[in-house]
Amino acid sequence: MNLAHNASLDNLPCSFVIFGATGNLASNKLLPALYHLEAAARLAESLTIIAFSRRDWTTENWREYMREVLKDKIKGSLDTPVFERFLARFAYHKGDLNDVESFRALADRLPPESACSSTVFYLAIKPAEFSAVIQNLEAVGLNKPRGMNRVVIEKPFGEDLESAQMLNRLLHQHFDEEQVYRIDHFLGKETVQNLLVFRFANTLIEPLWNRNFIDHVQITVAESIGIEQRADYYDHAGALRDMLQNHLMQLLTVVAMEPPPALEADALRDEKVKVLRSIRPIAKRAVHAHAVRAQYARGNIDGQPAMGYQQEAGVESNSITETFVAAKFYIDNWRWRGVPFYLRTGKRLAKQTSMIAIRFRHPPQQLFRETPLESVAPNWVLLSIQPEESMRMEIHVKQPGLDMDTRVMQMNASFLKTDEQTLDAYETLLLDVIEGDRSLFIRFDEVEWAWRVVDPILQNWTVEREFIPTYSAGSWGPAEANRLFDSDDQTWRNEL
């Protein structure tokens, strides 16, 4: 997003190394995003991209692989001259992540320090492999110059508070914090970035953004897909680690943060950390009142039968890994005291959608009690992140006619014009990595405090290993999620 762009063009990297280049993340996200940056002429001519993988390939084999992989993943029609220029940037490096000699050979392929200001190392690999790569980079001197070379790490950042702290200590042994880019692609979404503008550039909105006017906040990330051959990861992680601790917590901080003194990376992240530190701790005895978990069973999605989680390939028999989680949090500060934040996410739900829904309080006076309009539904602000990106506000207007009755109208503040296309989140974030803008990346104290918030829930569920409720695939989750609400008139908002 380049919120506060202070990167010097002289500091642009001349090499971009992708570890795990033949994996799903690289194929589905990184390579298409890099191509779109190429098409937009945002990559420096001098940038070379090195694909690091174990396959016994040549660079030409790799380029043929890219032609096959990218043909269905590029937005719009393929521009052949641009694509050929993009392919020419790549070199293939056969190597083993656990073999220091592979890294020594990689170092020999990179330009000398005098000819290149920095290199980006993107770890598109399993978290279990982070340690080997980080230590091997240091062993051959590729973590130097300190403060220059950059390492990009995908979530999850640990699997609990203790492992996250261990990962951070490992990183800081070999890299400075300024070199570490912890990526959460939700922060690259246009709607999430636009939320900062929506709140802090409009005097109409910000005075209402507090406990005096807002009844509650809902953050939903719903997926209609299952685990998609990721059982080896997902059956160990579950929805709480995979989504709520990182993606949903980051969305919560953007909704709830105070205005930063400046749109600079650390100023933004300071305010997000303050939110996390203000979340009311959940006592062990209160976990059931604050969190619900469940697992999808057989059902139907779009009229097609869908298997249950325990029937997925690679899932352990009688697994109690949660594929749905809903939780309630309170932020104990002057702005939000007493306002519940309801977070939920799940697999195999009725619809693929990500949305922030803010419900305002009821009007303080029942002005219309002696008219056909006995009660007035509250106003909502709806921020849709996917599949469409939009911002809407619901207000009441009088219906034409003799009676005093109203209907709800949506004011659509969509920021896209008809001829505009939004950037993919990875395109935004990769460009920020290359240009050295850390505004939309996660600092370690954010990771640590997010783990502190959810750790009581994790510890409780680790002990309770005998039973997990289920919900039908294609539904909106278990009915038990409704018990989190503080009042009877609060319900989940599923649709725009």
Is pLDDT above 70 for 228?
yes
Look up residue 106 and give its two tokens: 């990689």
Q: Are residues 129 and 206 in the same domain?
A: no
Q: Are residues 390 and 452 in the same domain?
A: yes
Question: Stretch 121-134: mean pLDDT, rounded?
Answer: 90
**Is the residue at 48 inside a domain?**
yes
- CATH number of the domain where residue 20 is located: 3.40.50.720
Find the range with the poorest average confidence among 140-144, 190-194, 277-281: 190-194
**Is the residue at 494 inside a domain?**
no
Q: Are residues 49 and 138 in the same domain?
A: yes
* Domain closes at, from 130, 154, 178: 154
Residues 6 or more apart whose Cβ sits within 8 Å of residue 82: 35, 38, 39
Quote the domain boundaries for residue 102: 9-154
Q: Are residues 124 and 252 in the same domain?
A: no
Q: What is the pLDDT of residue 352?
A: 92
Q: Are residues 198 and 316 in the same domain?
A: yes
DSSP secondary structure, 103-169, as one string: HHHHHHHSPPGGG-S-EEEEE-S-GGGHHHHHHHHHHTTTT-STTTSEEEEESP--SSHHHHHHHHH
Residue 372: how many CB atoms within 10 A of its CB? 9
* Domain closes at, from 107, 135, 154: 154
Q: What is the pLDDT of residue 5?
A: 43
Is pLDDT above 70 for 117?
no
Q: Are residues 342 and 399 in the same domain?
A: yes
Q: What is the pLDDT of residues 311-359, one digit of tens each?
A: 999 998 889 999 999 999 999 999 999 999 999 999 999 999 999 999 9
* More reliable by pLDDT, 485 or 28: 485
| Whether 114 contacts 83, CB under 8 Å | no
Q: What is the pLDDT of residue 219?
A: 96
Q: Are residues 147 and 255 in the same domain?
A: no
Prior bond of 372 cis (ω within 30°):
no
**pLDDT band with cut points at 50, 70 and 90 for residue 264:** confident
Question: Stretch 217-242: mean pLDDT, rounded?
Answer: 90
Q: What is the pLDDT of residue 370?
A: 57
Across all residues in the chain, what is the average pLDDT?
A: 86
Q: What is the pLDDT of residue 198?
A: 83
Query: In the beta sheet, which residues pair with residue 345?
Result: 221, 325
**Is the residue at 164 inside a domain?**
no
Q: What is the pLDDT of residue 4?
A: 43
Query: In the beta sheet, which residues pair with residue 439?
Result: none
Question: Stretch 62-81: mean pLDDT, rounded?
Answer: 85
**Is the residue at 161 inside a domain?**
no
Q: Are residues 16 and 103 in the same domain?
A: yes
Is pLDDT above 70 for 416?
no
Q: Are residues 282 and 370 in the same domain?
A: yes
Burial degree of 4 (CB within 10 A; 0-12, 13-18, 19+)? middle
Question: Stretch 153-157: mean pLDDT, rounded?
Answer: 83
Q: Are residues 277 and 213 in the same domain?
A: yes
Residue for token pair 């809903």: 326
Question: Among the residues of 21-72, which ranges form H helices?
Answer: 24-25, 31-39, 59-70
Q: Are residues 239 and 368 in the same domain?
A: yes
Question: Stretch 20-26: mean pLDDT, rounded?
Answer: 89
- CATH number of the domain where residue 459 is located: 3.30.360.10
**Is the residue at 433 inside a domain?**
no
* More reliable by pLDDT, 490 or 394: 490
Is pLDDT above 60 for 203?
yes
Is pLDDT above 70 for 453?
yes
Question: Stretch 216-242: mean pLDDT, rounded?
Answer: 90
pTM for this one? 0.88
Looking at the annotation, which residues are catalytic? 247
Q: What is the pLDDT of residues 31-61, one digit of tens each?
A: 999 999 999 888 888 889 999 999 999 999 9
**pLDDT band with cut points at 50, 70 and 90 for residue 8:** very low
Is pLDDT above 50 for 230?
yes
**Is the residue at 2 inside a domain?**
no
**Is the residue at 72 inside a domain?**
yes
* Domain closes at, from 135, 154, 173: 154
**Is the residue at 171 inside a domain?**
no
Q: What is the pLDDT of residue 417?
A: 59
Q: Are residues 222 and 292 in the same domain?
A: yes
How many structural domains comprise the chain? 2
